[in-house]
Amino acid sequence: ETGVTQSPTHLIKTRGQQVTLRCSSQSGHNTVSWYQQALGQGPQFIFQYYREEENGRGNFPPRFSGLQFPNYSSELNVNALELDDSALYLCASSFVGTGEKLFFGSGTQLSVL
């Protein structure tokens, strides 16, 4: 059984650029969610995907968007990067019907200069 993997592990971008982060769900999981964690804070829910559709979203602007693919891997896209977007981005997968226990990847550390 493979765990949740995220790529890249670290990324440096400049303000105004666009970024794509990737996540491979744990084998057998059909739901993926994304979180932003600023330094010293708890993770903030961005959105969740189930069966390739967004089915829940936190308080993030539309420049944060995502995709889920038929193999349940996922992407997080952020357009027009701002300095405050610097954070650890975490992906979690789960399987609907098992109490939705979340399994997290190790995250992507994004720095916006």
Q: Does 45 bind another protein (CB under 8 A)?
A: yes
Find the binding residues for another protein in span 80-99 (CB under 8 A).
Answer: 88, 90, 92, 99
Between strands 108-112 and 10-13, the pairing is: parallel
Amino acid in position 79: N
32 lies in the binding site for another protein (CB under 8 A): no
Interface with another protein (CB under 8 A), residue total: 28
Cα 47 to Cα 14, 42, 52, 58: the distances in Å are: 24, 15, 12, 6
**Residues near another protein, by CB under 8 A:** 4, 6, 33, 35, 40-45, 48, 50, 55-56, 58, 88, 90, 92, 99-107, 109
